[in-house]
Structure 1
């Protein structure tokens, strides 16, 4: 069975709930408390672009229950290290407050800030990245092409960024709107085969619009570090099990990609579907990958589950996925939960404090 790994980016915040630029200090503390099994990938804290955020990752796991345990353990471990720097972690894809964030004291980060101006300045955003193992690049590219129409549904399920710079945006995932300003971000055209994939990367590098291959920010890409497909479309999830749901659905899509080829919609239509998912998340319509027409979000999510049902059943994930999809549709994604807290009277700082609790208790 394919292994899965989950990378999560978190905000570093004060106990009172305000973003705090202490990533360098947190990483210094983390360097003295590494995992026991340093030969296995994942499990360590890593730097991100800004001082107000930190990234952690799980080791690769084939069993979904074990993956959930690893996600929770990673959150707990990261928060423990952050506490040593006087901070906490919050699984929020954007900070609700007005924030002037700062880049890491790193040459590449400062080069990006200088080259990309306001796009770089605004990038205090946190995502959830799923890695699913592949046997070859041929298989990986087939999976990338198969994922194209379904990535927007994954985004809708994960939406967790309704606020930006002190205002309510009206979006479930405003992170995706901010992230989409990078020159390589978003949906891609079909690649066809590894040669086609690498030709696109080479041509992008040849434009001079990006510094290096690390700035290939497609919704899904071949990992440059591991033999995996890396799906990067989702907001970081408020609830740990929602991150595991992303992983289970990605694995289901990866297995489903090995069947008969599917029709490939134009990239312009996928951009529209992605915008729709970012705007309304689970509270309105989504664009159906099967028809290209709007349908209530719950119906489109059901289409995704039905599409991957045989793969989920074979992996032993079907019952858990069906149960947790029902939970998400009933309870709501992170954006819906945040707006519920607002309705109860929570201000920006209180939203962050509640998110800290939810990050570690879910």
Structure 2
């Protein structure tokens, strides 16, 4: 079985008002012990050595968010444990400053944001203006081991037509800066303003992939290769394919389920490549249509079927994806668990649907308060309402 791991971006919020708070720079020193720099660029001189062997934490573009990272895992249970642990530790650090963390892909409450004062982020702000000023979005990135870069490119070519289904399953951003967007995953719309984002062509080989990446960077539009924000890309630092389309999931169990689906996609695609099965020749513009539809409707209406790219009921398209992955999932002992998890999402709703339910009773503040509770559900932190934050808090709104 291939190892896999995830990165989650979490929103830092005021638990009473729901407003985002710029506290990452004061939270990270409590999550990261003092010691020599790891060699990766950081803000405020904070190294990236995690406080726990399984947990990693780092800055993101905005000080109103914090990123957690798992170690490579072999199964759903181990990954879920690490996701819950990362959420619990981040929430503990937030509490020290009167805040909480919420797994929300966009902020329901609107406010000014604060760019993390790293030279690269400052350069991005100067170059991309309002895109950076407004870019408070939280994604969910799944890394799956590949045996070689060549296999990684072959995998990307063969999963590109199915990634929109993951957008619908993870949809968790119906509100944006104080407004109802009419989308289930508005983060997808906001994120795809970046010039290097979105679905890609069929590359066919590693040299073609590398030539395209080089040409995109040499164009001068992107600052560096780190801004290659493809829906799926080869990771620069690890031997993995990184799938980047999903919203951060409100419930930790949904996050682990999505990661299992991505691993099965990678394994299925690698086997097709080994068997000489060519990737489906779907035009990139159709992939954009599928992603837009998934972002707009989530699981509430119709998606574009990844076989025909014509409209079909969302539950049917999701079931078709599970059926496609069933041989690998069954072999890895995950099929029944996936079917149960999918049934729960279809029955109880995606994060976006769960966000809308508290709104009628308490507005956007209630949406964020409920999200805080669901973010830590199962993490062993107890009832959030019974745990008062400590004094001596630092706040920037």
TM-score category, normalised to shorter length: over 0.9
How do 1:106-145 and structure 2 match up within 5 A?
106-145=118-157
**TM-score for the superposition, normalised by structure 1:** 0.96
Paired residue secondary structure (2:83): helix
Are positions 1:268 and 2:285 aligned together?
Answer: yes
* CA distance in structure 1 between the aligned counterparts of 2:234 and 2:189, rounded to whole angstroms: 23
Q: CA deviation at 1:29?
A: 1.7
Residue 25 (1) aligns with residue 30 (2): no
Q: CA deviation at 1:32?
A: 2.6
What CA distance in whole angstroms lies between the structure 1 residues aligned with 2:256 and 2:356? 23
Q: Give, in whole Å, the separation in 1 of the partners of 2:366 and 2:33.
A: 32
Distance 1:85 1:193 in 2: 49
Give 1:86 deviation, angstroms: 2.6
Partners of 1:263 and 1:51 in 2: how far apart?
Answer: 41
Alignment-derived partner of residue 326 in structure 1: 343
Deviations 1:174-218 (A, max 9, x none): 001000000011111111111111111101001101100111111
Check the 8 A contact 2:200/2:284 in 1, yes or no: yes
User: Aligned to 1:349, which of 350, 359, 365?
Assistant: 365
Query: Which of 34, 49, 56 is matched with 2:61 structurally?
Result: 49
Given candidates 316, 325, 328, the residue that maps to 1:299 is 316
Q: Which residue of 2 aligns with 1:156?
A: 168
Tell me how far apart the structure 2 counterparts of residues 137 and 107 of structure 1 sit (CA, whole Å).
30
SS at match of 2:5: strand
For residues 51 and 135 of structure 1, the distance between their equivalents in structure 2, rounded to whole angstroms, comes to: 36
Measure the CA separation in 2 of the matches of 1:180 and 1:346: 31
Q: Which deviations, in whole Å up to 9, do the C-alpha atoms of 1:200-253 show, x marking residues without a partner?
A: 110100110110011111111001111100000000000001111111111111
Q: Secondary structure at the match of 2:337?
A: helix
In 2, Cα distance between the equivalents of 1:87 and 1:216? 33
Secondary structure (helix, strand or coil) at the match of 2:376 reads helix
The equivalent residue for 1:251 is 263
CA–CA separation in structure 1 for the residues paired with 2:211 and 2:219: 12
What is the CA distance between 1:35 and its match in structure 2?
4.4
Work out whether 1:105 is the aligned partner of 2:79: no
Q: Does 1:7 align with 2:7?
A: yes
Is the 8 Å Cα contact of residues 29 and 84 (structure 1) preserved in structure 2? no
Greater mean deviation of Cα atoms: 83-92 or 155-164 = 83-92
Find the residue that maps to 1:108 and give its secondary structure: helix
| Cα pair 1:130 1:230 within 8 Å, conserved | yes
Counterpart residue number, 2:294:
277
State the partner residue of 1:337: 354
Which residue of the partner structure matches residue 90 of structure 1? Answer: 102
Q: How many angstroms apart in 1 are the aligned matches of 2:186 and 2:346?
A: 20
Residue 326 (structure 1) shift: 0.3
* Distance in 2 (alpha carbons) for counterparts of 1:360 and 1:236: 14
1:37 to partner: Cα distance: 6.3
For structure 1, the 5+ residue unaligned runs are none
Could you tell me how far apart the structure 1 residues matched to 2:51 and 2:349 are?
A: 37
Name whichever of 258-267 and 51-60 sits farther off. 258-267
In the TM superposition, residue 65 of structure 1 has moved relative to its aligned partner by 1.2
Structure 2: gaps (5+ residues): 35-48, 379-397
SS of residue in 1 equivalent to 2:161:
helix
C-alpha distance after superposition, 1:275-328 (max 9, x if no partner) = 000000000000001111100000000110011100111111111000000000
Query: CA offset at residue 105 of structure 1?
Result: 1.4
Structure 1 residue runs of 4 or more that deviate by more than 3 Å after TM superposition = 33-38
Residue 180 (structure 1) aligns with: 192
Counterpart CA distance in 1 for 2:83 and 2:110 is 29
How far apart are 1:36 and its partner, in Å? Answer: 6.2
> Which of the two has higher C-alpha Rg?
2
> Which residue of the other structure, out of 344, 355, 358, is the alignment partner of 2:374?
358
1:310 aligned partner: 327
TM normalised by structure 2 equals 0.88
Q: What secondary structure is seen at the aligned counterpart in 2 of 1:346?
A: helix
